[in-house]
Amino acid sequence: MPAEVSEGAPAGSDRVVAKPKDPNADKLMPGTPLGKVVERRDGALVLETQWSVKITRGMRVAFQDDRGDETSVGRIVRVNNRTFHVAIGINEEVPVGSVGYFTDHDPTGSLEAPPQAAYPVSFGLVMRPWLGLDQKESGVLVDAFVRMRLGAKAKLTAAVEPAAPPFGSVNGAIEAYVAPSISMRLAEIGFGVGVGSATPAQAGAGTQAGLLFSPIFRIGAEDGLNLRARTSAVLSSGIASFGSFRAEGQIPLAYGLWLLMGGGAGQRSYAFGDIGIRLLMAGAGSRHSWFAKVLIGGAGATAYDQYGFLVNQSGPTFGLGIEGRL
């Protein structure tokens, strides 16, 4: 029986010539399953390989919902013997057991504009104690809030921003409000109504409480690059007066790390200015996530001196805060 001549052999030759390898033979097609999610660790999904495919760093991996639509796309950053790590963005939820598929789409994660976090309730507490120097009084400014989601874009926030307990000669100051708001990915606007303090310019009358009105807005993503500002007016004894103004900015530096800058002051009440960092301590940004804040700057409040005039009682501050999402 004559020998089989391979394609590409010279004419009149019975030499067997190897068939050229198809350059696309090892190329994966979009939609090829790569592995299953077994855990999330330090901002990356850990997937276990269960198919005979070649996994390399830099490959893009997509995760789909029940309808087969892509919800998140990440990039492989580490490859082990049986597992590989896929980096995804904050607030991108991929449950354990999800299958990752090869894709040629760009990663969806964004530091500056991540998707809105999905959580029903969140709360936070920030304390800014200041140390009075040169015979000045020490004290503390306290911020606290509880926020509930009422729908896809509606929130209800109850907050104290701030409370300055009366220590020594320091006058007490408080701004507490309840504010419904419309919250979107890159903006939020709300209006708060509550109670605020009004301190007379001269001693004798004492600090008075009044009705607080406070518009609030945010430009930028809640967990990305943003600027949040709030102002207030206090209606007391039939007279409306300026309450306070505060603004706080956030700049993302890396996954789970933000630079914070903020400041605010009230009329004859309080003032602060600080810079710090915000850290994601646990979770992926949505439910069951915990954040910590570390701040350094200055803070203070007002007090009456021995002649009955208002003076500032302030000093350097080292602030700490915590935020949880349930």
Tens place of pLDDT per residue across the chain (326 aa) = 454 444 555 555 555 555 555 554 467 899 999 999 999 987 899 999 977 888 999 999 999 998 989 999 999 999 999 999 999 999 999 999 999 999 999 999 999 999 999 999 999 999 999 999 988 889 999 999 999 999 989 999 999 999 999 887 888 899 999 999 999 999 999 999 999 987 765 655 567 889 999 999 999 999 999 999 999 999 988 888 899 999 999 999 999 999 999 999 998 889 999 999 999 999 999 999 999 999 999 999 988 777 777 888 999 999 999 999 99
One DSSP character per residue, 294-309 reads EEEEEEEEEEE-TTSB
Q: Are 161 and 196 in contact (CB under 8 A)?
A: no
The answer to whether 86 and 39 have CB atoms below 8 angstroms apart is no
**305: exposed, middle or buried (C-beta count within 10 Å: 0-12, 13-18, 19+)?**
exposed
3-class state of residue 228 by DSSP: strand
Which pTM does this prediction carry?
0.87
DSSP-derived secondary structure letter, 282:
E
| Cα 265 to Cα 270: distance, rounded to the nearest angstrom | 5
Give all domains of the chain, ordered by start, each with its CATH number.
33-103 (2.40.30.20), 121-325 (2.40.160.40)
